[in-house]
Amino acid sequence: MAALLTAKTEDEVRKTTVGQLRKDYNKLADIYTKLIEGKYMYCHCCGKFKSNYTFYESENYASGFFPICKDCLLKIAEQRKEDRDPANETKESVQKVLQMMDLPYNDALYESCRKKCADKTSERAYGAPFTVMLTQLKTLPQWRNKTWKDSDFGYTNETENGILEDTKKNKQIIKAGKKRFGSGYTIEELYWLENEYQDWIARYPCGSKGQEVLFRQLCCQELEQDQMRLAGKNTKDIAHSIQETMSSLGIKPSQSNVDAMIDSLSFGQLIDRWEHEKPIPKPDPELEDIDKIGMLIDVFFKGHLAKSLGIKSGFSHLYDKFMSKYTVHKPERNDEEQESLFNKIFGSKVDEEINGDP
């Protein structure tokens, strides 16, 4: 680490010999030259000047190095605030660092590095899985020119994290989660947060901006609680915060009065709830269409419409069959039957008068 010189006071300059001033000047000039040449870099995490070999090379920056030193990146990956804190490296923390550096994450490679570091029988002592993986990403040719978008998280089928294979639906969920919760989360966390948010608003009304903010805050608190529990930390404070958020939303278990819930639900939510809990049963066969309203609709609406449009279908046939009962047809008789009927009604005398017979 480079120790930058501080300016001397006037009294210190008076007391310093010319030879000592010459040495201090040469030392200052050497540090300044190294800064100009890029041999000393400033870490934007710890705020210290360090030699450039303590930084990872990166073509994304004009200096040619990633602006956070190796030690700070390792602390982020191991989730340590102080040097004495125990390491808690996870896939999610490694993914955060690689995303910052725009480097690809490969689940198979990380598992290989993790097993290699856990092998106590190996003759070679390895460091953290993160540093081993990062060294391979920087040196092996197959990872050259690869970026974060080339990551392989190992999702083929449904996994224990609940992520399915890379489908269009999952991409939309992750995109919506990133838009709602912002950056700084891994893909698994965004997927979980968005699904949890949708689950909450499907169960409880969310009709205002304030409720959206509280539900979003509740999801983040749940995720933080799970992470703290996995890390073996005390979750008492975060659990209390969750209870307060639920109380603000009026959805605490002690507040779940059935009548109050029904009053707060919209008509559409009530229908959805009734259809899932106690749907309308199908009627008994003997009670189906007692007033024949269904048959009348089929005949006089669907059948008449099909008949008017000249569409031959079951409804038009049903319409013809039904209307035939109320249709009057002109009787068809031959000439002899008509003459016999005429004589019976008017008699043959009228027929003779018409023909001119005396």
Taking only the tens place, the pLDDT of each residue in 296-310 is 888 889 989 998 898
Highest mean pLDDT among 4-13, 212-221, 292-301, 306-315: 212-221
Q: State the pTM of this model.
A: 0.41
Q: How far is CA 357 from the centre of its chain?
A: 105
**276: enclosing H helix or E strand:** helix 267-277
Q: Which tokens hold the place of 254?
A: 């002690």
pLDDT of residue 158: 44
Q: Between the CA of residue 356 and those of 343, 348, 353, what are the distances in Å?
A: 17, 13, 5
pLDDT in tens, 31-72: 777 777 777 888 888 888 888 888 998 888 888 889 999 999
**By percentage, how much of the chain surpasses pLDDT 70?**
80
Contact in structure between 38 and 52 (CB atoms under 8 Å): yes
Sequence letter at residue 188: E
pLDDT of residue 124: 58
Distance CA(193)–CA(218), nearest Å, equals 10
Q: Between the CA of residue 152 and those of 103, 107, 108, what are the distances in Å?
A: 11, 6, 8
Mean pLDDT of 133-161: 77
Poorest-confidence range of 13-17, 156-160, 338-342?
Answer: 156-160
